[in-house]
Every structure is written in structure tokens, then in C-alpha cells.
Amino acid sequence: SRSWLSPAGTGLTFSLLVRPGAEESQRLWAMAGVGVASGLRRLGMAAGLKWPNDVVVAGRKLCGILVEASWSGNAPQYAVIGVGCNVNLDVEQVPAIAATATSLARELGHPVPRMAVLEALLHGLDEARRVWRGAPAALLRRYRELCGVRGRRVGATGGGATLEGLALDVD
């Protein structure tokens, strides 16, 4: 029931097809978050993560990430990492998100070439995947470092109910 807003020329939305192993697929969401945040940091953004799938700067949403996988029994066949990033979007022109979203152009004070953003994000994702394959515990530590919800009150709504609690850790 959620929609993505990306007027022509203002954002970068792409899907990346990966073929993870069974172990790797267990935490693909963490790898994607760390990779995107790391790529944005290469562009000068103090990007952090808001569990489970938002990348934020100064408390405002800059990117969204969605990971979906296809399984055959206990084996993943493939996964798709979808990324949507506000690059040159003037969030003030979109009342529905003006108070909660930001863009690279807004944060940096100038328009940003979308191909440079794509290059940085793909580099960050590739680097995170290599770390995950070699040292999964290191990747989860990095996720925890970037995650801004630890130690805060959180809520989740679904199925007509809202659950609230204190986010102690991510595992």
C-alpha cells in the first residue's frame, strides 16, 4: 500500500539482480543498507540507516531499499534489490513528503549528476557484498553503527494492530 515518488529526472531508481547463496540471502537487507549508505557517504552524505529499509540524512529519508527473493525449497534462486534515491528532487514542491524527506541536491546545495550517484551506490553495494562474503559479522557491526533506531522507541503497524517497543539491537 506504499508508493514511490520519482518525477522524471529528479531521482535514481534501479533494481539489481543478485544470486545469493543461502547464508548470504539471510541478511541481504543488511548488506543492501550498508552498501547504499556507504555509497552515499562517498558522495559526502552523513548517511545512516533507519531499520528496516530507509537511508536517512539528518533524520530525513533520502533513499528507500526493498529486497525481494525467489526461493526453491531452501535454496534462493535470485534476489532483487530495489533502490530509490532522491537526487535532484525539490522536496519542498511535494507537500506529502516535504517534512520527512530530503535529496542529495538539497543537502549538497547543488544539482548532482545521477550517473555519479549510480556509480557510487554500485561501488558501495559491491564493497558491502565482498565484506559480507568474507566477514559477515563485520557487515552486521557496520549495520549496527549506521542504524539510528537502536536505543529508541519504535512502532510497527500491520494487520490492524500497532506494536511499540524499545529497539535494543538488530540481529
Report the pLDDT averaged over residues 29-43.
95
- Helices 28-42 and 136-146 cross at an angle (nearest 10°) of 60
Cα 144 from Cα 103, distance rounded (Å):
24
What are the tens digits of pLDDT across the range 112-124? 999 999 999 999 9
Report field, pTM of the whole predicted structure over 0.85 = yes
Strand partners, 70: 78
Strand partners, 28: none
Q: Is 121 helix (H, G, I), strand (E, B) or coil?
A: helix
Task: Determine if the peptide bond prior to 95 is cis (ω within 30°).
Answer: no
